[in-house]
Homo-oligomer: A and B are copies of this chain.
């Protein structure tokens, strides 16, 4: 595996994906609208005397990010099917892993975009103070996002080519998405409640290990998911 080439090809795939998304912007706007809707729903649904903002904010944040991730992963391979370009990609003399990495990068950029919209909106709507914790919060979000997007991208790649597995994707995906997501929610809660950083270091470590394990696994396993 020639690593610079692998990364270059991955970047080529990712930047093409991002260009296409930038041209149509459908997915990112759907995500943004969804963020607003979620915030409105919780805004009206919440009895301000019973439920305080800080208690809800972490869950709301991660629900919208999950939505963005699901959207991104659907988009990633849908795009190739729509343009019937998947065969072309598979035929190109590039490491299979670079297709995976490319899709992963594009998905991460996409989800990061939604997160960049989501965090300030949350702060605005719910009057949650995020600025004091911005550094750790961003680190936390980044780590957790990488984890579940990495697994999700792998599975969604697997299922675009096989009809049966498509039914299985959700079932397969759930057990893998739940751990990073639940750590992230818990850690975000502590963070926004103003607890000391040391309380969430454990979770951050867990997330980092999860990311390393699954990104590595996915890079090595991806070639096996496409016909060789």
Contacts and interface: CB of A to CB of B under 8 A. Distances in A.
A169 B51 contact: no
Interface string A133-151: 0000000000000000000
B66 A55 contact: no
Interface in A51-78: 51-52, 55-56, 58-59, 62-63, 66-67, 70, 74
A202 B174 CA distance: 40
B44 A186 contact: yes
Interface residues of A, number: 47
B41 A174 contact: no
Contacts of A186: 44-45
A173 interface: yes
Contacts of A178: 37, 40
A46 interface: yes
B41 A181 contact: yes
Count this chain's copies in the assembly.
2
Contacts of A63: 37-38, 41-42, 63
A41 B26 CA distance: 26
Contact of A166 (B26, B33, B62): B26
11 contacts: A24-B166, A29-B167, A30-B70, A30-B74, A37-B181, A40-B178, A41-B63, A44-B182, A45-B59, A45-B185, A47-B189
